[in-house]
Each structure stands twice: as structure tokens, then as C-alpha cells.
Amino acid sequence: MEKPENPLHVPADRHHELAHAVMRRQAALSLRVASVFLLMLFGLPLVNYYLPDLAATPVLGFTATWLFLGVLFYPITWLLSWHFVRESDRIEAECADWRAVLGEEAGEPLEPAGVGEVKPAFIETDAVAEGEDSRP
């Protein structure tokens, strides 16, 4: 079985650093979104308990509690989910430039020195078959 390609050309000794950087940014995003969701989830019962007059305020024919719980809770949850997915994709796209994530210069080549001079084996075998010896 072949080894999977390394499309980002990240040096093998730096994979763990890149993975750690991506996971740290993803975890921070997760904590932010989860904290907003948990604030909504636990905040409504607390508002009902500690501020019953505010919770019973009529808004658009509903009490504020029912407006939030029955009408606004699901769209807000969808918006949080959309934000999480969009930001997560942005983090992964930014991490595609691994040099920027790891704090390295962006000017270094993607390929190690000398890689452009390497010829695939089939070129040499075709040249030998035609009677030309490509080796010096």
C-alpha cells in the first residue's frame, strides 16, 4: 500500500506542530460557540427565575420567554452552526499555508533543492531503448 501524498509539503518533523496549531484554533472556536449556546440554553431558565417580569413581557403576541424558546431558539442555533462551519473552514484554509501557521518565512521553496533535476525512471528506460544513454 502506498503512503498517502503530502499535498501541503509539510516536512515530516513539523506535522505534529501544524496539527497542534490547527487543533488549538479549532478548540478555541468550539469553546466560543459552545459558550454562546450554553448561555442561551441555561440563561433562559435563569431569566425566568430571577427576572419573571422581564420574561413575561409581551412581544409580538408572545411572552418574551416563548418568543425566544419557541421562535428564536432554532434560528439562533442554525446561525451558530453556520458560523462554526464557516469559521472552521476558514481556519483549515488558512492552515493550508503551513509556513504562516508555523511562523516560517513564506519565501522558501516548496521542494527541496535538487528535486527538479530528478528524472523519472521511465525517461531513462525509454532513452536506453532508443539507443541513447542518458547517464553521464
In order of 9, 15, 52, the CA distances from 109 in angstroms are 10, 18, 64
What's the pLDDT at 106? 47
Determine the Cα–Cα distance for residues 132 and 35; give it in Å rounded to an integer: 70
The whole-number pLDDT of residue 5 equals 54
Under 8 Å CB-to-CB from 133, ≥6 apart: which residues? Answer: 127
Please tell me whether the overall predicted TM-score, pTM, comes out greater than 0.75 for this model. no
Give the pLDDT of residue 76. Answer: 95
What are the CA-CA distances from residue 60 to residues 20, 52, 64, 67, 70 (Å)?
48, 18, 9, 8, 13
Mean pLDDT per 10-residue interval, the chain, length 136 residues: 54 72 90 96 94 93 90 94 94 74 55 57 59 54
Strand partners, 63: 58
